[in-house]
Structure 1
Amino acid sequence: MEFSWLETRWARPFYLAFVFCLALGLLQAIKLYLRRQRLLRDLRPFPTPPTHWFFGHQKFIQDDNMEKLEEIIEKYPRAFPLWIGPFQAFFYICDPDYAKTVLNRTDPKSQYVQKFLSPLIGKGLVALDGPKWFQHRRLLTPAFHFNILKAYIEVMTHSVKTMLDKWEKVCSTRDTTVEVYKHINLMSLDIIMKCTFSKETNCQTNSTHDPYEKAIFEVSRIVFQRLYSFLHHSDIIFKLSPQGHRFQKLNQVLYQYTDTIIQDRKKSLQTGVKQDNTQKRKYQDFLDIVLSAKDENGSSFSDTDVHSEVSTFLLAGHDSVAASISWVLYCLAQNPEHQERCREEVRGILGDGSSITWDQLGEMSYTTMCINETFRLIPAVPSISRDLSKPLTFPDGCTLPAGITVVLSIWGLHHNPAVWKNPKVFDPLRFSKENSDQRHPYAYLPFSAGSRNCIGQHFAIIECKVAVALTLLRFELASDHSRPPQLVRRVVLKSNNGVHIGRGKGNR
């Protein structure tokens, strides 16, 4: 008698395993189908741009087409869903009333974003929610007190002057434009390393870039690409991909770079041996404050917390500020009449710029308006996101259920023609006191708003003012129309081909 292959002892386990996997696959397919149907039902009240049934709007998002985004905002001025593949949709909002509704709640930050950033920065202030977030925010607030920030101005001034000295050498030997972002990026890294660790890296003058600077630029690109590639949302698929392997190597570079400095400082504090430069510096750095922070119960940050908060401050205080300064100088180069007015204001306040004080920065009213207008026109952080923990009702009566990921498009809000008249025009007078008083309080959100606004916003603005003021005293900036910036949406809004600025005829 012949037996079928299923009746053989060795084949039956494979058959059962196949049936089991098939059943799991079918259940997963049903789960995804029901998820899609639920999203379609929940988002039905909100019109969406034309979409592909499988890829959704992924091609549009990955193409970095900012003009297309502006067209969508003009057609859907309040909100619209964007699909990332067939089973995930982000609900984009670009209306001040909608933004106020979302930011006045305590919904956690989107897990889609934090999931991809947490291997890089850990569970710091940006990633935390709930009671632990409140504890960390309270402990870190003293690090950004005005008395602490005042002491950083001298550090910033020295680093900016180092960069400007480099530019003078470049301009004296070449009759060409300068790609300023790479220089500003190193200058900002120089500042953040001094303000965080009191560490002199000499990254601006070394012939090769600092390993941290190179790693952080590539890591931010990988994180963004993963965010908008639904296949890479799977940890397994991402880790097996070439990008995943590269991400792990770069993340290890960043971790070791930061951890070495933290451990050295802790050892010096434990042994009571001061670092060589401790007595020389006139300020507390960020690491000093984090290591000494204690709450009302005497609890301090754990080793993991210290590393997470320091990594968060390094990333946020370096990458976004460098981009912001680059965009301010670019906008002033594009608008010479506003540039000259800023220069006259700065010269009247600082003279030759040999020193800068806190009070002098506060007197730069027109320069501040130009900085604010740049932050509106080209926000360094183009969006923030929240996962709704409970249903949400907007002022117009439209609702969203819990579980939806809401993305506040800061770019969309700042370019919304229903909010801003002629939004593409650079007009600093939008931020005069009279115009600011009449504006919706949630129309301009470069640093977010509500309880989770950016804790480091004053640090960023001070650095930006110092860099812009000293630059205008020594250089006249001219636009380079042959190489306009190609905007790319990363964690921070950058230019794919750099930021090129030419020399004006009246350079100092």
Structure 2
Amino acid sequence: MSFVAQLCSIFYALLIGLFTVIIWKAFRFISRYVYLRRKLSAVPGLPKHWLLGNARKGQIEDSKTFKDIVVKASQDGHKIFCTWTGSIPIINVLHAETFKELIKQTREKSKGYFAGYRAFISWIGDGLLMSEGRKWERNRKLLTPAFHFDILNGYIDIMNDGADLLMDRFAKDTSKGNAIDIFPYVCKMTLDSMLRCSLSYSGSIQTKASESEEQYIEAIKRMSVIIWKRTAEVHLAFDPIFNTLPIGREYNKLVDRVHKFTRNIVQSRIQDLKANGTTQESGGKKRRLDFLDILLTAKDSEGHGLSPQEIQDEVDTFTFEGHDTTASAISWAIYTLGKYPDLQQKVYKDVCDVVGDSHIITKDHLGKFTYMPKYIKEVLRYFSPVPILGRVNHDQPIVLDGIEIPANVSIWTHIYALHHNESTWKNNMVFDPERFDAEHRDDTDVYGFIPFSAGSRNCIGQAFAMNEIKINIAKVVKRFEVTVDPSEEAIIIPDVVMRAENGLNVGFKPRK
């Protein structure tokens, strides 16, 4: 047989092999789709297209329409609701009882196609938000000391300084009686605070942000938009397709930009640690222990610390999670002060009763507020800064609301819908901080209020976030009367964090 004939024979064999693999993959794909359609037929859901599922015009077009659909399903009495992105089903949990069932049966994050978290992997890696099993348990244990009250108390002065700078910016930019969209302002403040508290960063993003800092902020904002778009649109879920499209190339460049920013901070600290020790700065000046110190020095029972990649993943995770979600909560809280002047007055009175003439919010003050904590909880309920949580049942089926959900199906808990479920919350669409009075607490299922999730995978940084929210709200009401135009209702958009489609436009009138 000639060389050409042999080459042709090999080519045909490879072609037949490739064709066989494609046919087998297609068979498995179709079989899985048919199986899931049959098994999930008992779950309430929308009519779906055989190819596009519900990700099409007139159904799930964006995060807002998705929110409207699941809220309507909740109002119709459904505890779970099935939506389809292409041929991939998503089980949406809308009720406290069902969420309770879910977290007792699974802890794994949903990272498959159309699963939401998958889009985060190239950005924040396998840190606490994404990791599972023994790795998550080990790293959670190693990082818990970073959020001890003694450590958190050391951040309070930094949070006061950041809040004061924010108030100065509010005063300056509304000095002519105009309103401003506060979300970008608050975002810079919380990022500044997170970097200074957890990484002992020496920059000042609020007053004179460097080019790399501005690029980091803009990158995160744009990446959040792309992540939702990728989750909702069928063709963008697949890496080979996404990475070749302009939107995928843009996203990967943004990831590189974000990683470069945080990597420089980590590398600088490693060099400082080697030269001066954990709590020494160059020049011998003492500094407090922070989150990054603990990342760099923590050891497990076998004497092993975190790898360089694990440290990078945790820094990227906390830098994002620690500022964007808190910025959302603070921004909505300020906006709501202006929307409800009578509630603003109650918050103001509570702050004055505790703080008096002091311009500094201390750790002792934080525990003495009585009305403000109820107000903040109602903000977290009503606006749900983190709109969605994702889980998956990897190894075996689970039962939700009496229906068996096959293994490896993405399960999304819609916190916004759960927080507005009328079977859990009386007058669910009314903003009412009094619902969190101690005398009413027994009427509300603990799993019906999950702004920081619940169970073993609850947010490790919730005490940090609550301190920062309290300090900023106290500073705002002490210095300003907050106003909003009652005819300009904020339209909520549940992207990666809860935002407003038309901005959170707020005015600030200095108190006399």
Tell me if both proteins adopt one fold, taking TM over 0.5 as the criterion.
yes
Question: In 2 relative to 1, CA 306–9 (structure 1 residues): closer, same or farther, beyond 3 Å?
Answer: closer
Q: What's the offset of the Cα at 1:10?
A: 8.8
Equivalent position of 2:61 in the other structure: 62
2:38 counterpart of 1:37: no
Equivalent position of 2:75 in the other structure: 74
Q: What's the offset of the Cα at 1:296?
A: 2.2
Question: In 2 relative to 1, CA 377–507 (structure 1 residues): closer, same or farther, beyond 3 Å?
Answer: same
Q: Which of the numbers 138, 141, 144 marks the counterpart of 1:141?
A: 144
Q: What's the offset of the Cα at 1:277?
A: 8.6
Contact 2:109–2:130, Cα closer than 8 Å, also in 1: yes
Contact 2:351–2:474, Cα closer than 8 Å, also in 1: yes
Q: Which of the numbers 415, 423, 430 marks the counterpart of 1:418?
A: 423
Amino acid aligned to 1:269: L
Structure 1: distance between partners of 2:283 and 2:169: 25
Structure 2: distance between partners of 1:239 and 1:45: 36
2:159 counterpart of 1:151: no
Q: Which of the numbers 428, 438, 441 marks the counterpart of 1:433?
A: 438
Q: What's the offset of the Cα at 1:17?
A: 6.0
Structure 2: distance between partners of 1:278 and 1:111: 45
Question: In 2 relative to 1, CA 171–507 (structure 1 residues): closer, same or farther, beyond 3 Å?
Answer: farther
**What do residues 165-217 of structure 1 show as CA deviations (whole Å, max 9, x unaligned)?**
11111122x22111100100000011001012211322111277622111111
Equivalent position of 1:177 in the other structure: 179
Equivalent position of 1:196 in the other structure: 198
Contact 2:174–2:507, Cα closer than 8 Å, also in 1: no
- Does 330-339 or 366-375 show the bigger shift? 330-339
- Does 7-16 or 292-301 show the bigger shift? 7-16
Contact 2:298–2:305, Cα closer than 8 Å, also in 1: yes
Structure 2: distance between partners of 1:486 and 1:278: 51
Structure 2: distance between partners of 1:164 and 1:22: 65
Which secondary structure state, in structure 2, belongs to the residue aligned with residue 104 of structure 1?
A: helix
- 1:99-498 superposed matches below 5 A: 99-112=99-112, 113-172=116-175, 174-206=176-208, 210-272=214-276, 274-276=280-282, 279=285, 281=287, 283-389=288-394, 390-394=396-400, 396-498=401-503
Structure 1: distance between partners of 2:283 and 2:90: 49
Which secondary structure state, in structure 2, belongs to the residue aligned with residue 442 of structure 1?
A: helix
Structure 1: distance between partners of 2:166 and 2:289: 24
Equivalent position of 1:47 in the other structure: 44
- Does 139-148 or 326-335 show the bigger shift? 326-335
What TM-score, normalized by structure 2, do the two folds share? 0.92
**What do residues 278-335 of structure 1 show as CA deviations (whole Å, max 9, x unaligned)?**
8364x32211111121122221111111111111110110111101111111122211
**What do residues 383-437 of structure 1 show as CA deviations (whole Å, max 9, x unaligned)?**
111111322124x532222222111111111111222122111010111111112
Question: In 2 relative to 1, CA 121–58 (structure 1 residues): closer, same or farther, beyond 3 Å?
Answer: same
Q: What's the offset of the Cα at 1:497?
A: 3.0
Instruction: Structure 2: give runs of 5+ residues left out of the alignment.
Output: none
Amino acid aligned to 2:348: R
Percent of matched pairs sharing the same residue:
33
Contact 1:353–1:473, Cα closer than 8 Å, also in 2: no
Contact 1:124–1:308, Cα closer than 8 Å, also in 2: yes
Which secondary structure state, in structure 1, belongs to the residue aligned with residue 92 of structure 2?
A: strand
Amino acid aligned to 2:82: P
Structure 1: distance between partners of 2:61 and 2:324: 21
Which secondary structure state, in structure 2, belongs to the residue aligned with residue 369 of structure 1?
A: helix
Structure 2: distance between partners of 1:397 and 1:277: 64
Contact 1:77–1:418, Cα closer than 8 Å, also in 2: no
Structure 1: distance between partners of 2:60 and 2:504: 22
**What do residues 96-145 of structure 1 show as CA deviations (whole Å, max 9, x unaligned)?**
11111111234311013332211101111111111111110101000111
- Does 68-77 or 361-370 show the bigger shift? 68-77
Amino acid aligned to 1:250: L
Contact 2:43–2:81, Cα closer than 8 Å, also in 1: yes
Q: What's the offset of the Cα at 1:9?
A: 9.1
Amino acid aligned to 2:203: T
Structure 1: distance between partners of 2:272 and 2:289: 15
Quote the RMSD (CA, aligned, Å).
Answer: 2.2
Structure 1: distance between partners of 2:421 and 2:381: 11
Which secondary structure state, in structure 1, belongs to the residue aligned with residue 207 of structure 2?
A: coil
Q: What's the offset of the Cα at 1:255?
A: 0.9
Amino acid aligned to 1:234: F
Which secondary structure state, in structure 1, belongs to the residue aligned with residue 145 of structure 2?
A: helix
Q: What's the offset of the Cα at 1:488?
A: 2.4
What TM-score, normalized by structure 1, do the two folds share? 0.92
Question: In 2 relative to 1, CA 277–412 (structure 1 residues): closer, same or farther, beyond 3 Å?
Answer: farther
Structure 2: distance between partners of 1:483 and 1:306: 44
Instruction: Structure 1: give runs of 5+ residues left out of the alignment.
Output: 1-6
Contact 1:212–1:253, Cα closer than 8 Å, also in 2: yes
Structure 2: distance between partners of 1:49 and 1:139: 44
Q: What's the offset of the Cα at 1:271?
A: 2.4
Which secondary structure state, in structure 2, belongs to the residue aligned with residue 501 of structure 1?
A: strand
Amino acid aligned to 2:158: V
Contact 2:415–2:450, Cα closer than 8 Å, also in 1: yes
Structure 2: distance between partners of 1:22 and 1:420: 56
Contact 1:361–1:462, Cα closer than 8 Å, also in 2: yes
Contact 2:393–2:409, Cα closer than 8 Å, also in 1: yes
Structure 2: distance between partners of 1:292 and 1:503: 44
Amino acid aligned to 1:197: L
Aligned pair count?
Answer: 497
